């Protein structure tokens, strides 16, 4: 994204029209870059996008080298839509803080990507897939989760800073996953996700901890043939349209975002000269 900004001679033009052009370019180019990266690391040739395919279908085509079925394209399109925007989350706030300094949109998006990468934000979908692989089978769910919770560790894909019930996006993704699973030979982790969800419902009964958008996106992407280390990059591809929408609003009525901090550490400590330390 930073490289794209370096090539754009109008990156510091904050007019609404130019910002919309940048936003559209990012939405188009980020999937192309992710797909090209994946094919390059496999020693495969880059596949250019096709005019006859939708945005979602094009990505699957460029990534996997085969035209997706109508169902696969629709499921991925809905998954991208569900990830496109979710108000003032950490990565969106990061982008807005960067833009508020009058840095360009590309830099603001790069800032958002760095924030999204964390396992407590956009990296959670990859962590969910890794959790499923570690559990391995239905019989291992109870002992693995019990040990995890006894150590007071986090179960990735469970809980949300906003929702105190099941994330509505997770409900949609589970329904889509069932459609894909009926035609897929890779439904194992999707079924395991459901068993895991059921046991967590029993184990965490009475606590406001339910599946979030990452919980089923991992197994749905797996059934679509997408490598797990690309899940967060795909999240960024989808969320780019939400980020840029917020940024266009920020640039139109910009004020520097400069939060105050309240010190709550130790007080009245004696100063020790450097020579005596």
Which residues are catalytically annotated? 121, 160, 214
Number of H helices, E strands in the chain: 12, 0
Largest CA distance in the chain: 74
Q: Which helix (H) or strand (E) element contains residue 190?
A: helix 188-203
CA angle 220, 226, 231 (to 5 degrees): 80
**Cα separations in angstroms, 26 against 20, 21, 90, 233:** 10, 9, 20, 13
First to last CA, the chain: 46
Q: Contact 235/173 with Cβ under 8 angstroms?
A: no
Sign of dihedral through CA atoms 18, 24, 30, 33? negative
Residue 187 has a CB neighbour count (10 Å cut-off) of: 17
**DSSP bridge pairs for 158:** 211
């Amino acid at each position: 994204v930073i490289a794209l900004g370096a090539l754009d001679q109008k990156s510091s033009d904050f007019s609404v029209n130019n910002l919309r052009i940048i936003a559209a370019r990012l939405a188009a180019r980020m999937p192309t870059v992710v797909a090209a990266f994946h094919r390059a690391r496999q020693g495969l040739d880059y596949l250019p996008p096709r005019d006859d395919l939708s945005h979602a279908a094009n990505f699957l085509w460029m990534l996997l080298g085969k035209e997706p079925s109508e169902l696969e394209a629709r499921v991925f399109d809905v998954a991208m839509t569900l990830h496109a925007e979710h108000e003032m989350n950490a990565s969106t706030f990061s982008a807005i803080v960067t833009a508020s300094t009058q840095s360009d949109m590309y830099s603001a998006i790069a800032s958002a990507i760095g924030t999204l990468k964390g396992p407590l934000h956009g990296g959670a979908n990859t962590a969910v897939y890794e959790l499923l692989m570690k559990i391995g089978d239905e019989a291992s769910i109870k002992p693995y989760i019990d040990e995890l919770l006894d150590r007071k560790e986090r179960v990735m894909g469970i809980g949300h800073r906003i929702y105190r019930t099941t994330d509505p996006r997770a409900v949609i993704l589970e329904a889509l996953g069932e459609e894909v699973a009926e035609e897929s030979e890779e439904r194992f982790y999707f079924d395991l996700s459901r068993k895991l969800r059921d046991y967590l419902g029993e184990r965490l009964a009475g606590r406001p901890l339910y599946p979030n958008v990452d919980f089923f996106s991992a197994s749905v992407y797996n059934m679509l043939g997408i490598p797990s280390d690309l899940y967060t990059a795909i999240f960024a591809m989808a969320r780019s349209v939400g980020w840029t929408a917020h940024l266009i609003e920020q640039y139109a009525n910009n004020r520097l975002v400069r939060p105050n901090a309240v010190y709550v550490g130790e007080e009245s400590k004696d100063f020790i000269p450097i020579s005596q330390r």
